Chains A and B, each alone.
Chain A
Amino acid sequence: MNRTLTHLDKLEDQSIFIIREAYSQFRDVAMLWSIGKDSTCLLWLMRKAFFGNLPFPVLHIDTSYKFKEIYQFRDMYAKEWNLNLIVARNEDALAGGLGPDKGKFRCCNELKTIALKQAIAKQKFKALYLGIRRDEHGIRAKERVFSPRDEDFEWDYKNQPPELWDQYKTKAAEEEHLRIHPLLGWREIDVWEYVKRENIPVTSLYFASKGRRFRSIGCESCCGPVDSEADTIDRIIDELRTTKVSERSGRAQDKESDYMMQKLRSLGYM
């Protein structure tokens, strides 16, 4: 138990450091809030980092297709936490008939990317905080804590900062917006343990009903539920523990996988 607490404390410290460090370099920033557990956890850390008052807006990309639970949750906590909430929608596309009823989820995708671009251009954000995690990406993660993107959202490989994962110090070039990933080192189970410890609210979609639950929502709101009986946070943690044991048995295993991937890649298999 003690070990877990220390582990969470360390993650929390690191994330808060990244959040503050980034803010000291960029003032035109915003945080992307998908209302999912990761970005809500990030929001929680933000509130800790800035003592309850976020000095920048929280951006929600609204595709107009989201579960009603998500809207309810968003509006309730935006108010409770006194957030400067910006809801961005691609109104032109929506007016032009590009709705969830027509193109369904394919255009939902379109609506998100373009809406985000529009919001960044309009608000002139220089940097965005995102709640992505390295383990979502598997061991392939090439995301860094800070990762520069150019105006077309393409990776700017040449401008990748040479630092390793846990060193974070970089400034974006004038024309880019920078993405900051304070939760990068967190695993799915860390997020749930932190949600439990801090009593962070999450939407009911995560909890199993009729044998199914959502493992991710919000930004990925178009994803379907998975088979699960986990109807409480404790059960979700248990579920992740039992599946994770076989998935990743410690850091040594991860390192081996990295080597394997390197070897496979050098022969063109990745």
Chain B
Amino acid sequence: MNAKTVIIGLDGVPYAMIKDFAASGVMPNTARLIDGGFFSPMRSSMPEISNVAWSSMITGKNPAEHGIFGFMELHPNSYRMRFPNYNDLKAPPFWETCQGKSVIINVPSTYPVRGANGVLISGFVSIDLNKSVYPPSLIPTLKEFDYRLDVDAQKAHKSMDLFLEDVEQTLQARIRAARHLWNYCDWQTFMLVFTGTDRLLHFLYDAYEDPNHPHHAAFVDHFRTIDGVVGEIAARLGESDRLIMHSDHGFERLDYDVFVNHLLAEKGYLHFKTGQDAIIENICFGTKAFALDPARIYLNYKGRYPCGTVEAAEAEAVLRDLESLFAALEIEGRKVIRSIHRKQDVYSGPYMDDAPDLLLIADHGFNLKGKAASDRLYSKGIFTGKHTYDTAFLLAANCDTSRLPAPPAVSDITRLFT
């Protein structure tokens, strides 16, 4: 009998938080795994957002190989947005290439569902349960469990109490479904992703940091519950079975959202059609560069876009100008952008043409946004936490970690079990 592999994903959870909760007794089961296993900070994908990071994790590839660069893309030869999904993933996820059956629950960027050798329940951004479950015969059972595809984050904009209630109910339903599938399915690989963590971190990072925050207890309890599941799973594993826990990106406190397109427009790199809203769809000739969320910078190449302006021969000069612009950006005396990357330095593969020309990594506290139509360079909204690139975590028990680079990246995880 081959060793089984169990993967528990904790969307957005930073290394330091796991370390903190393990030490303080909130996550005792996780602490035991850390003691006997490999525990390290981990790099996310570029950009450090869930659908890119999870696509990288499940394929073991970089975006220029799997084709997912962000939550939104533009239609060819146009400025119209579209939302890439599972059908756009150009490399197979590990469960389609490895031997044996698998149960895969709530991995982001796997909607709409497609057939698998085993069970697959799609994660964020899933819309319709009927298109999220394989095999479909499981749908009635999941409905009985009150299974929810995702927390309704809009609730957080209205009432934090309602939001927390939804977070808790979604977590409990996810656990019920996971227990059922664990017991009643035959599997070699079992993967369960918790995404409520990321939602909590977006809205209540301040509650984590401040023990007097009214929602501090709810925040901590969420992690305590998850640790309970970790304990349940660890207790049921055989001696040679692998257990992997990891996040897809990290989190830290958010000071300011910074709107990259606002900067580009202000400095004359980005122009919108007269009298129309300052949104990507309304880009006009004269535009040299624009950003798609979070900080993917695209040159507005002639021939590639309807209002393309940049000639191939001037691209290098534009890139250099942009690099100095971004490198010099300061807000309240603090440097905003920690590092600037050209696409050929971070990506390689057949989908290079679709890659952004520049990628920006923000410095502490700054959250780079590709949203257009912002009337200011920076602001503070409802969110208190922001994603980070280099502070995700990887915890591996019973795995051969000798093939991991130091520090590992999210696209290296499949090396542990395939």
Contact = CB atoms under 8 A, between A and B. Distances in A.
Interface in A228-270: 243, 247, 256-257, 259-264, 266-270
A222 B71 contact: no
A266 B154 contact: yes
A40 B369 CA distance: 38
A138 B74 CA distance: 10
Contacts of B271: 105-106, 109
B286 A256 contact: no
A106 B286 contact: yes
B76 interface: yes
Interface stretch (A13-21, A74-82, A212-220): A212-220
Interface string A107-135: 01100110010000000000000001001
A247 B82 contact: yes
B306 A223 contact: yes
B274 A139 contact: no
Interface string A194-234: 00000000000000000000011001101110110000000
B306 A216 contact: yes
A67 interface: no
A223 B307 contact: yes
Contacts of B306: 215-216, 223-224, 226
Interface string B219-258: 0000000000000000000000000000000000000010
B154 A222 contact: no
Interface string A137-170: 1111011000000000101000000000000000
Contact of A224 (B282, B308, B367): B308
Contacts of A263: 124-125, 127, 150, 153
Contacts of A260: 83, 125, 127
A105 B77 CA distance: 21
A104 B273 contact: no
A91 interface: no
Contacts of B371: 270
Contacts, number: 115
A109 to B, nearest CB: 6
A103 B107 CA distance: 50
A243 B75 CA distance: 9
Given A105-B285, A106-B286, A269-B293, A226 B77 contact: yes
A256 B128 contact: yes
A1 to B, nearest CB: 27
B275 A137 contact: no
> Which interface class (under 10, 10 to 19, 20 to 34, 35 or more) fits B?
35 or more
B415 interface: no
A270 B293 contact: yes
Nearest to A115: B274
Contacts of B277: 137, 142-143, 155
A9 interface: no
A109 B274 contact: yes
A143 B125 CA distance: 25
B275 A224 contact: no
B5 to A, nearest CB: 30
Given A262-B154, A264-B71, A222 B125 contact: no
A69 interface: no
Nearest to A63: B274
B49 A139 contact: no
A132 B381 CA distance: 32
Contacts of A104: 286
A113 B284 CA distance: 13
Interface string B254-298: 000100000000001001011111010110111000000110000
Q: Tell which of B81, B202, B257, B381 has the most Cβ of chain A within 10 Å.
A: B81
B369 A268 contact: yes
B213 interface: no
Nearest to B203: A267
A257 B111 CA distance: 12
A269 B275 contact: no
Contact of B273 (A155, A220, A262): A220
B80 interface: yes
Contacts of B49: 269
B157 interface: yes
A266 B153 contact: yes
A105 B154 contact: no
A116 B274 CA distance: 9
A135 B80 CA distance: 8
Contacts of A137: 277, 279, 281-282
Nearest to B386: A268
B285 A140 contact: no
Interface in A76-109: 104-106, 108-109
Given A138-B79, A139-B81, A226-B306, 15 more contacts: A105-B285, A105-B286, A106-B286, A137-B282, A138-B80, A155-B277, A220-B307, A223-B306, A223-B307, A260-B125, A263-B127, A264-B83, A266-B156, A269-B294, A270-B371
Closest 5 CB pairs of A and B: A222-B285, A112-B274, A105-B286, A266-B153, A138-B80
16 contacts: A109-B271, A113-B275, A140-B81, A223-B284, A223-B285, A223-B306, A224-B307, A243-B76, A247-B82, A264-B83, A264-B125, A267-B202, A268-B367, A268-B383, A269-B71, A269-B72
Interface of B: 49, 71-72, 75-77, 79-83, 124-125, 127-128, 150, 152-154, 156-157, 199, 202, 257, 268, 271, 273-277, 279, 281-282, 284-286, 293-294, 302-303, 306-309, 367, 369, 371, 381, 383
